[in-house]
Amino acid sequence: MLTKKVDDAKIRMLCGMIDEAEHIVLTCHVRPDGDAVGSTLGMAILLRSIGKKAVVVTPDLPPRSLSFLPEAKEVVAYSKYPDFAKRLLDESDLILCCDFNKLSRLDMLEPLVAGTKGKKVLIDHHEKPDSFADLTISCPDMSSTCELMFRLICDLGLYQELPLDAATCLTTGLITDTRNFSVNCSDPEIYTVLIKLLEKGVDKPMIVREAIELKSLDSLRLQVHALDHKMEIFESHSAAVITIGKEELERFNYQRGDTEGLVNVPLSVEGIRYSFFLREDDDCIKVSARSVNSFPVNKICEDLYGGGGHVMAAGGEFKGSLDECRRILIESMPSYDRWLETNSERHH
Ligand code: 5GP
Ligand code: MN
């Protein structure tokens, strides 16, 4: 059995909003990951199975690594179908905003979502959500939005109705946000959630292979190149920084998602406490950060790049050159040294 994590008043409100809604849109943050697509698509599949009109609208296309998800083709990316996405949002009377805590994370979709008449529900696990929604269901202590969504589904009394395809989507977010149950997984109940999803028939090994392991040869070569030639180690700050410029991305035929997981690799070296990956995209420098033992990379992303995220997995966007983005980070490292002392890694 799962303990109650969301209060009854909010569950009742959500239940009423779903009952009343005819056209439901589920949306998530830009550059959607397994948790963002898994939570929206999983809930959309469930809602459709109980007779609702429900559609997932994302700011941009999900990465190829998520195309195995059931009904992934039904996802409407605003970047690809702006008119269709706009119409869906205009027609919707309920919008479930999943896996983000502020509207700016919707990127190009922000004005459309902000401007629609539909009621908004925030369903998320990031700290300090903005208060833009009619109903805010924010649980920062949860591993993933998919875990939260699953709990909501149980609280709504819909577990029995949950189709296998929806369970597969929800399990995917659980797996990607916990790096296959290696981080954010100390709450024993997350395994109860997993068991209840597996009981639906979910093929976990398939998800791990598709969502985490499989890479194109180009992507593997790009990552090897990055680690071999573009990783800098700042020993006195226990930090690693990887930078990749546009020219290199082109050389390795970069596709969305090809650098997924790269930022984690330096953390396998003993003594490296945090890792940054800076990638020169078309419109900005995409910043990705990970850490071990609670070194707060979300604080660095917030301070330097106006970004955010979780303590040990965060990111941001920098408008400027790759060099400048790297320089700001390196120059700021000394001011974060004090966080290295807390939660020391080993207790010999
Ligand atoms: P990733 O490195 O996988 O892109 O992002 C890791 C986490 O950092 C995300 O789950 C999200 O919580 C956060 N994050 C990534 N990019 C941004 C950003 O531009 N702004 C904010 N506020 N958070 C971000
Ligand atoms: Mn998430």
Q: How far apart are CA 77 and CA 98, in angstroms?
A: 15
Could you report the per-residue pLDDT of 281-305, keeping only the tens digit for each?
999 999 999 999 999 999 999 999 9
Q: What separation in Å is there between the alpha carbon of 36 and the centre of ligand 1?
A: 11
Could you report the per-residue pLDDT of 320-329, keeping only the tens digit for each?
999 999 999 9
Could you report the per-residue pLDDT of 61-118, keeping only the tens digit for each?
999 999 999 999 999 999 999 999 999 999 999 999 999 999 999 999 999 999 999 9
- Pocket of ligand 1 contains residue 307 by CB under 6 Å: yes
- Pocket of ligand 1 contains residue 177 by CB under 6 Å: no
Q: Please give the C-alpha separations between residue 7 and each of 88, 97, 188, 302, 317, in angstroms, as whole numbers.
A: 31, 19, 20, 30, 35
**Burial (Cβ within 10 Å: 0-12, 13-18, ≥19) of residue 3:** exposed
- Pocket of ligand 1 contains residue 219 by CB under 6 Å: no
What confidence score (pLDDT) does residue 96 get?
98
Could you report the per-residue pLDDT of 120-152, keeping only the tens digit for each?
999 999 999 999 999 999 999 999 999 999 999
pLDDT band at 217 (very low <50, low <70, confident <90, very high): very high
CA-based end-to-end distance of the chain = 38
What confidence score (pLDDT) does residue 342 get?
72
- Pocket of ligand 1 contains residue 313 by CB under 6 Å: yes
DSSP string of 236-279? GGTEEEEEE-HHHHHHTT--TTTTTTGGGGGGGSTT--EEEEEE
Which residues, other chains included, contact 202 with Cβ-Cβ below 8 Å and sequence gap of 6+?
164, 167, 168, 171
Q: Please give the C-alpha separations between residue 20 and each of 23, 51, 93, 161, in angstroms, as whole numbers.
A: 10, 12, 9, 19
Counting ligands in written order, which one lies closest to the CA of residue 278?
1
What confidence score (pLDDT) does residue 322 get?
98
Please give the distance of CA 219 from its chain centroid, rounded to a whole number: 20
- Pocket of ligand 1 contains residue 260 by CB under 6 Å: no
Q: What separation in Å is there between the alpha carbon of 135 and the centre of ligand 1?
A: 23
What confidence score (pLDDT) does residue 343 get?
63
What confidence score (pLDDT) does residue 187 get?
96
What confidence score (pLDDT) does residue 347 get?
38
Output Rg (C-alpha) for the chain, integer angstroms.
20
DSSP state of 327: H
Report the share of the chain in percent with pLDDT over 90.
97
Considering only CA atoms, which residue is closest to atom 7 of ligand 1? 314
